[in-house]
């Protein structure tokens, strides 16, 4: 028997123990419901006025501290399973934040997954999965002549099925594995398939084609998602929209309102709701538009966005996930006074909202992992200020 499978059995049993622990019950008590996104923990705080906090390292950093290969993570089902359990255990034992541990993980195949559905390559390296930069659609062919990617055969999908089916075989039945999800917005996928320079010129030179192309990408997501639901024998579920490509000044509020927002609302109506809208970019000038997305449960205010605007503009029904700058706000300097000042500021401005401080994107650059020490110090301060 593969010794790795024996290790996997031991890790699953340990996760069961941690899941049943009093510490995990404490962490679960802060949340209204389970995670609404399956890449990292994104939950809804239980009560209005609550400010929860979550800490996440980048996967490449987890690989360094939990000692696994990112190349193998994306290509070997056993390594992906082992790595996900090691990440969950490392985080639960080292970071006393509010993230619970559970018996599930996503079969995550990289930030370029959606482009890879159309045939784009992902480059697997120990610095995570990177998008190959080639343009997949070089000419403005009629959008209605473009094929919709096949859920089983096209692009990365054979590999997705290989990984998922093997994960189901090696994991115990009480552990859930989430099939890869299409989360990136129509505009984001169009950006990577067509290339941003081409796409913006399309908007200027041939607006009709530009709109047709965005609608084509939207149709592709709908068709792919229906195939996924049928394959898994589950109903369509409220969607998530990841929109890192929507950021000022690359995209203006008027461009977002006229071209991009309609495709997102189309998706929300198709899926019957939206759980989470995300951009790591500066969305300050677009927050009033994002706020109009019907039934939105949670949105991100990034480290480059203005939290005061977020607190003023977003409806009280929308949970605000306020990102910190991983370097400037946490790891640049061990400064307890500065930590307290930022946390108190956010707690005050979001006192009428359900809100989360999301300390994510943290990377280790030193050989002695000094950054991890500073993350733990920040967590100690956050517990003092928020509990």
Q: Which of 48-62, 205-219, 323-337 has the highest mean pLDDT?
A: 205-219
What stretch of H or E contains 264?
A: helix 261-271
- Out of 115-124, 192-201, 316-325, pick the least confident: 115-124
What is the overall mean pLDDT for the chain? 94
Query: Cα separations (Å) of 314 from 86, 212, 289, 307, 359?
Result: 37, 31, 10, 10, 21
Q: Which of 306, 196, 299 is nearest to 251 (CA)?
A: 196
Average pLDDT of span 209-220:
98
Q: For the residues of 21-52, what is the DSSP string, one character each? A: SHHHHHHHTTBSSS-S-TTTT---BSSTT-EE
Q: What is the pLDDT of residues 28-39, one digit of tens each?
A: 999 987 666 667
% of the chain surpassing 70 pLDDT: 97
- Answer yes or no: is pLDDT of 366 > 90: no
- Answer yes or no: is pLDDT of 365 > 90: no
- Answer yes or no: is pLDDT of 130 > 80: no
- Answer yes or no: is pLDDT of 144 > 80: yes
Q: What is the pLDDT of residue 38?
A: 65
Task: Work out the pLDDT band at 131, boundaries 50, 70, 90.
Answer: low
- Answer yes or no: is pLDDT of 264 > 70: yes
Task: Name the β-bridge partners of 300.
Answer: 321
Q: What is the pLDDT of residues 66-75, one digit of tens each?
A: 999 999 999 9
Q: Scanning the structure block, which residue is given the tokens 């084609």?
A: 209
Q: What is the pLDDT of residue 139?
A: 96
What six digits make up the tokens of 220?
Answer: 């592709």
Task: Work out the pLDDT band at 51, boundaries 50, 70, 90.
Answer: very high
- Answer yes or no: is pLDDT of 120 > 90: no
What six digits make up the tokens of 221?
Answer: 């997501």
Query: Could you tell me whether strands 128-131 and 51-57 are parallel, antiparallel, or unpaired per DSSP bridges?
Result: unpaired
- Answer yes or no: is pLDDT of 368 > 90: no
Residues 6+ apart with CB under 8 A from 147: none
């Amino acid at each position: 028997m593969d010794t790795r499978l024996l290790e996997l059995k031991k890790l699953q049993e340990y996760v069961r123990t941690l899941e049943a622990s009093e510490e995990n019950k404490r962490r679960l008590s802060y949340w209204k419901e389970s995670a609404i996104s399956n890449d990292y923990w994104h939950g809804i705080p239980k009560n209005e006025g609550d400010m929860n906090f979550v800490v996440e390292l980048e996967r490449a950093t987890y690989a360094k501290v939990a000692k696994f290969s990112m190349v193998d993570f994306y290509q070997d089902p056993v390594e992906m399973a082992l790595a996900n359990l090691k990440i969950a255990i490392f985080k639960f034992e080292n970071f006393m934040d509010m993230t619970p541990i559970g018996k599930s993980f996503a079969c995550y195949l990289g930030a370029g997954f959606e482009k890879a559905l159309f045939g784009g390559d992902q480059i697997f390296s120990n610095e995570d999965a990177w998008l190959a930069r080639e343009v997949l659609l070089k000419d403005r062919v009629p959008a209605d002549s473009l094929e919709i990617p096949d859920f089983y055969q096209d692009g990365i999908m054979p590999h997705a099925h290989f990984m998922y089916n093997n994960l189901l075989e090696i994991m115990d039945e009480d552990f859930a594995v989430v099939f890869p999800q299409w989360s990136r917005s129509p505009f984001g996928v169009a950006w990577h398939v067509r290339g941003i320079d081409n796409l913006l010129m399309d908007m200027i030179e041939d607006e009709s084609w530009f709109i047709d192309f965005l609608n084509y990408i939207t149709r592709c997501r709908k068709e792919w998602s229906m195939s996924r639901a049928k394959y898994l024998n589950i109903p369509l579920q409220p969607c998530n929209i990841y929109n890192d490509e929507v950021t000022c000044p690359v995209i203006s509020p008027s461009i977002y309102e006229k071209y991009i927002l309609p495709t997102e609302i189309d998706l929300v109506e198709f899926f019957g709701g939206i759980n989470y809208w995300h951009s790591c970019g500066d969305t300050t000038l677009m927050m009033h538009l994002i706020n109009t997305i019907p039934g939105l449960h949670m949105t991100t205010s990034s480290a480059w966005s203005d939290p005061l605007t977020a607190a003023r503009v977003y409806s009280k029904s929308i949970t605000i996930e306020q990102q910190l700058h991983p370097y400037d706000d946490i790891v640049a300097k061990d400064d307890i006074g500065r930590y307290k000042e930022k946390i108190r500021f956010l707690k005050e401005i979001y006192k009428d909202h359900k809100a989360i401080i999301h300390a994510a994107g943290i990377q280790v650059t030193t050989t002695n992992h000094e950054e991890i020490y500073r993350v733990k110090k920040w967590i100690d301060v956050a517990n003092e200020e928020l509990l």
